[in-house]
C-alpha cells in the first residue's frame, strides 16, 4: 500500500500510475498551498495578493498593465481587477490609466507594498526551503524538470 493510499484511506489500488501521480500532485499542492496561506495571512494578504506584489515589484518604474499582471500570475484568476482593488484599498499598489491607451491601466507597487515584500523576502526564502526539506538538491532539480515537462505537454 502506497503512502498516498494510506493518507487517503483508500483500500483499493489506484486505477493507474497516472492516477496515483495526479492525485499525489494534487494532494501535495493542497498541503503546500495551505501552509503558504497560513504563512502570509498574518500580514493581511492572500497568496494571490502576495503574487501580485511580487509581479509589480519586478515591473519596476514603468508599471505593469493589468492584463499582463493576470498573465504572469502563478495561479490564474479571472478576478484580477478585484484583486488589484483590494490591494489598492490597503495602500499596497497604485493604478493609473495609461496615457497612450485610455482603456488600459498601469499598476505599480506602492512604497508600503514594497516594504511588506522586503519584510517577507527572508522569511519566505526560509519557508521555501522548509517546504522542500524532503528533497535533496538533485531531487529538486529533477522535480523542476518534471513539472516543466507536464506544463509543456498541456500548453
Q: Assess contact for 90 and 53: CB atoms under 8 A.
A: no
Q: Coil, strand or helix: which one is 134?
A: coil
Distances (CA, A) of 17 to 23, 31, 56, 142, 151: 10, 21, 40, 19, 18
**Other CB atoms within 10 Å distance of the CB of residue 136:** 9
Out of 1.10.1740.110, 2.60.40.420, 3.30.390.30, 1.10.10.10, the CATH code matching 44-116 is 1.10.10.10
pLDDT tens readout for residues 92-150? 999 998 777 777 889 999 999 999 999 999 999 999 999 999 999 999 999 999 999 99
Q: Which residue has the cell 503574487?
A: 51
pLDDT tens readout for residues 24-37? 999 999 999 999 99
Cα(41)–Cα(126) distance, integer angstroms: 17
The answer for residues whose C-beta is within 8 angstroms of residue 120's C-beta and 6 or more apart is 40, 43, 50
Amino acid at each position: 500500500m502506497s503512502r498516498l493510499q494510506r493518507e487517503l484511506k483508500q483500500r483499493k489500488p489506484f486505477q493507474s500510475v497516472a492516477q496515483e501521480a495526479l492525485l499525489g500532485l494534487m494532494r501535495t499542492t493542497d498541503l503546500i498551498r495551505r501552509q503558504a496561506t497560513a504563512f502570509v495571512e498574518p500580514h493581511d494578504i492572500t497568496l494571490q495578493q502576495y503574487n501580485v506584489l511580487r509581479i509589480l515589484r519586478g515591473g519596476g518604474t514603468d508599471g505593469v498593465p493589468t492584463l499582463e499582471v493576470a498573465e504572469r500570475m502563478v495561479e490564474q484568476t479571472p478576478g484580477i481587477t478585484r484583486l488589484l482593488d483590494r490591494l489598492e484599498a490597503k495602500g499596497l499598489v497604485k493604478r493609473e490609466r495609461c496615457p497612450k491607451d485610455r482603456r488600459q491601466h498601469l499598476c505599480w507597487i506602492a512604497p508600503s507594498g514594497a516594504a511588506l515584500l522586503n519584510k517577507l523576502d527572508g522569511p519566505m526564502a526560509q519557508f521555501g526551503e522548509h517546504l522542500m526539506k524532503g528533497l535533496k538538491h538533485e531531487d529538486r532539480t529533477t522535480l523542476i524538470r518534471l513539472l516543466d515537462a507536464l506544463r509543456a505537454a498541456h500548453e
